[in-house]
Structure 1
């Protein structure tokens, strides 16, 4: 309900949540009186490398979320947490995104390429394909870079493309090997036009982890 009523404050990835706090103290305030209060809230961040927009809302103790019961909701500019792993950027439009944000190599993941964010060499492509390398816990690098049905992405319209993957099956991994991460690009049907991180030549990255 909080996300529906208050929104996301400009955070562009869907993996966020509101946390509700209820004060044990109450204060009587006369009608139409102006008061000033200082509230301190301490929360723990995850150990991830994050860039996101913090937000808070002040509401009353009944419904509290309706227009008349909410005193205000406010959001910050981008806040950086210098954690570990790949940068998870909630603030800036993303050419590529993997859902869920955290998974293991035996989970089904969904990769999305949003070519509408910024111009890329794939703007006029009739079809888009995934070119991906898997890094294993034994130091091997496995690659699937082909323009076939198993790497073809489905069109969502407006230059947006998506594909569902089962990483272990894609790379035909034996039981004694595991993937630690992915490095990937998007290509056209000929394989000649390739889009990586920020629209450049470096690959997008994804690290498998359980959280």
Structure 2
């Protein structure tokens, strides 16, 4: 069976370092470091939740997220990618040339617009098992939605997912009770300081995780 190939070929190390310096100089608030740290943190949290018994993964606003194909733990789950149909069509065109069909059988597409569609109904139509232990990843989306849409989505997930399910998400405002709540700066330090690095990263952008009871 063919292995997963990246959507884009990685640049040579020298070019990669130049790009890092360029981005960090042009955007000193740390968007690159923040994105790298949050991705690694969410990867780890998702892998831990899957290892702890979650059998379903929901990627809300999945976009071009490749976790379903990158993380070995997710190959043992059913993954529901929720996003706008147009985005899903574009992603599928890329996947056809990058990921063997046999490595995509655990992924189910859920076309939905979180601002207008019923998330629970859309998930059920795609085969989601209600009240089963689930990990939900909501990365880089909440800050583009209204507060009402965020509240409605979280309430819907709480009613749909089983006990001990986990919601992993990013947000800007902070007024929640969470078992993990780190800034992108703190997440970057967790991974980079042991390597002797201190890349720019934002302190206001946050990565969080909560349990659904």
Q: TM-score range by the shorter chain?
A: under 0.3
Q: TM-score scaled by structure 2?
A: 0.27
Relative contact order, higher structure (CA 8 A, sep 6+): 2
Q: Greater strand percent: which structure?
A: 1
Larger of the two Rg values belongs to structure: 1
Q: TM-score scaled by structure 1?
A: 0.27
